[in-house]
Structure 1
Amino acid sequence: MSAGDSGSANQTLQEVATVVNGIGSYLHQTNFILSCISLVINSFHLLVLSRKSMKTSSTNIILIGLSISDTIIMLTTLYKHYVMVDMENSDCVTSEYRIKVYMDLTVWSILVVFRRCGCWLGVLMATVRYFVVKKITVSRYGNWSEPRVGWVMVFSVFCISGLQTILYQSRWMVVENRSVPLPINCAEYQNINRAPQFSTMLTPFFSFDNQIVLRSYVMFDSIVTKFIPCIAFPILTISLLRVLRKMKKSGGNSGRKISVSSEEKKGLTTKLIVILTISFFLTEAPLGFIYLVKVFFDRNDPILLLSTDFVIYFSMLVTINSILHPTFCVMMSSQYRDSIRKMLGVKRNPKMSSARNKTSVVSVQGIQMT
């Protein structure tokens, strides 16, 4: 490519970035409002899931972990809007106070931890449900539906994600009166020609040899956190649907008498995982590609700058998903609705309860994900 063609391409990217940035500023405001709504809804959602009547299966416990992740993600989003100088780049953290820089880096770390947890908890929920349904006649898989299995999975995901994030966040060191200007990608929110009192720079370990260690980690994290779950989630969901279809054709009997609930017959509980799969793929796959751009381009490259501007678009979809998760539970789980009624002191219609008991005698724990 000639110098003229390269200059023309860069100019085109800058023009596109200007448009994306213009829309993005409004999306930041919208995302802030949606985050407030999500925080309220997920706080109530967490209260419902935390009731004793709801903590009866591993899938419900995983839903608790997912709700915790959504709630903390929304809290960090509100913090970024209110307190941080730059809402898009952790390498643009600056302040007149050293403690403020450490606080901002901590919030970024918490955000990364629970974003990763949300990805894997969704996959684990589909995995548990698949094995419980697929191996219902195999005794060694029977305990997969027990709450303690869900707690172990949630705790493990939180710990592993936390350790991984600690390694990643160790790339920063806080410096005072830096001698080099801030990166170009910080220019959107602050004057990069002004030397801030305190800011962040890469440690020598992560910056040597053209940041080979950092680039390798980002590639690994993108594959493990984004692409593998984006592949595994649909595969598990399709496999689950095939198993349930076979069960319905065979009358739901797999070596022992099983009475499937009316909700399961209608496929309402499985639809929750199907919807989670679609929404997860639409948000996390594009973010994975955006993060992967960091591996192949320098942070001052126009393509990287443009990809960073697109983050807010998919981050807002993540916020919308966090609002939809409780909504799907209300729509698709009678047990969830009953728990809300008990919390609010609303009595169930006796006629409806009687009709429900006639259509659903016994449900196998782990098959009915409510």
Structure 2
Amino acid sequence: MNLCVQYNYSGTPAYETLDLVQQSYTKVHPYLSLVICSFGIISNVVNILVLTKPSMRNSINCILTGVAVADMITMTSYIPFVYYYYLMDSEYSHTSLAWKTFMAVHMNLTLTSHTSSIWLGVIMAALRYFFVRPTSARGARTLDCRSTLVLIVLTYLGAALLLIPNCLATEIEPCFNNATGVVNWHLKQPTFGGSDSNMLHTITFFIYPVVGKIIPCTLISIFGGLLLHTLRETNRRSRRLKGGGDASKKKKNSSAGLANGGHNGGGGGGGGGSSQARRTTVMLLAIIALYIISELPQSILVLLCIFVEGFFQNVYGALGDFIDLLSLINSAINFITYTAMSTQFRETLTEMFSGCWKPLTRSCRSVNGNQNALQSTKYSKTPPAEV
């Protein structure tokens, strides 16, 4: 049964504009993506170093570490791909069996790591909501780092199992070139609908966008909305309590003067902890929003590949560079988000680099001191000049 809607792309203004934009952007994409990947790999290494510090170890930061590892895998695999595919001039490198084998591995590896990343985002949003929602038994709802690590490993394994049909559907086929006598290798293009449809391709393109994109995007949106609602309710309660506290404080000050100043300071410390929790929740909401902005459009496009005939070849292929760019930005931007929105991350990062800088500074001072001592010894042994 043909499930596809037929549409004529050629000659339409929208298609011609898309093709023109794609051709122009292709010249910039390899250099831009290499810069983003280089920054993203370095920044994710820093994320891992900071988030695994003893003072930073908790369930949420363990998950963010797992996200950083998955994003590093995605960007590390993308660098050789973009170099060979866009910057290498040799046609043989594009059609050799070794190159196409790497392409097949790269496609499935990055899909697996990217799927792991978004499902870890779902788990992070769920854990944060269960932690901040207003109940009495908060301690019973937290996970220790060991349990969280098991959950991260299971997420990686689940993503790998999910992508097994996609691995099976990835085929490399030979094509003999009569003019040159060389066998060129190509990745078989997926087919949907019509008499030449491939059932495995259709199943793969149903499973991946639904389980790997739409369901996690829906869940992360739900938990993000619940987190936002809880944050607003918490702020509303804090304002009410603050108003009551101010009235009580005025009453006490009228009778006791400045005798209770130390207690007021303690209350401020408690408010600081609540403020830190709110900032953490806001930061996680920003990460959730980035996931949704990055993943939801891709989910819709992949589904259109199934239901609109020729969409994969004519539209999705033309948008491929932009889709890759969006995913790479999402993988590389977390360091900026953490630094901008987390005081604890900034403080730990500063302590880590200052700890590395002090021994280097001490070593440089020691070397300079030794050089000065040698020079003074040299000058002391020099005989006085004759008059």
* Percent of matched pairs sharing the same residue: 19
- What residue number does 2:153 align with? 155
Counterpart position of 1:334:
343
Structure 1: 5+ residue stretches without partners: 1-5, 88-92, 182-192, 348-370
Give a deviation string over 1:155-187, Cα, whole Å, max 9, x none: 1110011122233111133333369x9xxxxxx
Question: Which residue number in structure 1 is paired with residue 11 of structure 2?
Answer: 11
Query: After superposition, what is the alpha-carbon deviation per residue over 1:300-330, rounded to whole angstroms, capped at 9, x for unaligned?
Result: x266422222232232222222332111212
Match for residue 295 of structure 2 among 259, 284, 300: 284
What SS does the aligned partner of 1:177 have? Answer: strand
Quote how far apart the aligned CAs of 1:66 are: 0.8
- Name 1:109's counterpart in structure 2: 108
> What amino acid does structure 1 have at the position aligned with 2:37?
S
SS of residue matched to 1:145: coil
| Larger relative helix fraction | 2
Whether the 8 Å contact between 1:222 and 1:288 is mirrored in structure 2 is: yes
Contact 2:227 2:285 in 1 (8 A): no
Q: Is the 8 A contact 1:59 1:145 kept in 2?
A: no
What runs of 5+ residues in structure 2 fail to find an aligned partner? 1-6, 242-266, 357-387
What is the distance in 2 between the residues matched to 1:345 and 1:86? Answer: 39
SS state at 2:34 partner? helix
Counterpart of 1:197 in 2: which secondary structure? strand
Alignment-derived partner of residue 83 in structure 1: 84
Contact 1:130 1:236 in 2 (8 A): yes
Q: Partner residue of 1:166?
A: 164
2:222 corresponds to 1:220: no
Question: What is the root-mean-square deviation in Å for CA atoms of aligned residues?
Answer: 3.6
Tell me: CA distance 1:28–1:94, structure 2 relative to 1, closer, same or farther (3 Å): closer
Matched, 1:65 2:96: no
> 2:307: which partner in 1?
296
Match of 1:3 in 2: none
Amino acid aligned to 1:40: I
Q: 2:275 aligns with which of 265, 273, 279?
A: 265
| Range with greater deviation from structure 2 (159-168 or 109-118) | 159-168
Q: Deviations over 1:10-32 (max 9, x none)?
A: 21154123223223312343222
Once the 2 structures are TM-superposed, how far is the Cα of residue 262 of structure 1 from its aligned partner?
Answer: 1.9
2:10 counterpart SS class: helix
Structure 1 window deviating more from structure 2 (72-81 vs 313-322): it is 313-322
Deviation at 1:342, TM superposition (A): 2.6
Matches within 5 A, 1:318-329: 318-329=327-338
Deviation of residue 126 (structure 1)?
0.6
Q: For the Cα contact (< 8 Å) 2:125–2:288, is it kept in 1?
A: no
Indicate the residue corresponding to 1:315 in structure 2.
324
Letter in 2 for 1:270: T
Q: Show the 5 A alignment for 1:128-277.
A: 128-134=127-133, 136-138=135-137, 142=140, 144-177=142-175, 196-201=183-188, 210-250=197-237, 262=272, 264-265=274-275, 267-277=278-288
Q: For residues 48-89 of structure 1, give each alpha carbon's deviation from its aligned partner in whole angstroms, at most 9, with x where no partner exists.
A: 12223222x1101000011111111111111211234799xx
The alignment of Structure 1 onto Structure 2 pairs a total of residues equal to 315
The aligned counterpart of 1:120 is 119
Distance 2:215 2:236 in 1: 32
